[in-house]
Amino acid sequence: MAQTEKKGGLLRKSSASKKPLKEKVVLMYDEIFTTEDPSKCNPRFWEELFLMKVNLEYLEGKLEALDGEELMKIKDNINCLFQHCIQALGEDHPIRVVNALQVLR
């Protein structure tokens, strides 16, 4: 069995026959970095996102890798992310508040 690895959001090193596993939060971040609205297929997307432990290394890497043109294509999703972070700060659920603060960091 492959050794578990957490770097870059991967949970397992790839082998010849298997794709690397990614954390669910990383898969959700990837959805934010597409031109589609991530809540279109999953209406609870934002609620679920803020219940998961933040992977700042991965999120920062994705943001830093964008050029201006790419950023403009996903501007609406990035704005939604920050809007939902602000909304989560007003919630009673402490995990959501902490995770939103970490994303805003």
Instruction: Flag whether the pTM goes above 0.85.
Output: no
- What average pLDDT score do residues 12-33 get? 81
Q: What is the pLDDT of residues 23-54, one digit of tens each?
A: 999 999 999 999 999 999 999 999 999 999 99
| H-helix segments, the chain | 24-32, 45-49, 56-65, 68-73, 75-89, 94-104
In the predicted model, is pLDDT for residue 21 greater than 50? yes
Query: What are the Cα distances from residue 15, in Å, to 20, 62, 64, 66, 96?
Result: 8, 24, 28, 29, 35
Residue 3 lies in a domain: no
Residue 2 lies in a domain: no
Please count the structural domains in the chain.
1
Q: Which residue has the tokens 């999953």?
A: 42
Residue 19 lies in a domain: no
Residue 57 lies in a domain: yes
Q: What is the pLDDT of residues 69-85, one digit of tens each?
A: 999 999 999 999 999 99
Determine the structural domain holding residue 54 and report its residue range: 24-104
Residue 13 lies in a domain: no
In terms of Cα–Cα distance, which of 5, 2, 8, 1 is closest to 59? Answer: 8
Residue 17 lies in a domain: no
Residue 7 lies in a domain: no
Residue 8 lies in a domain: no
- What average pLDDT score do residues 86-98 get? 96
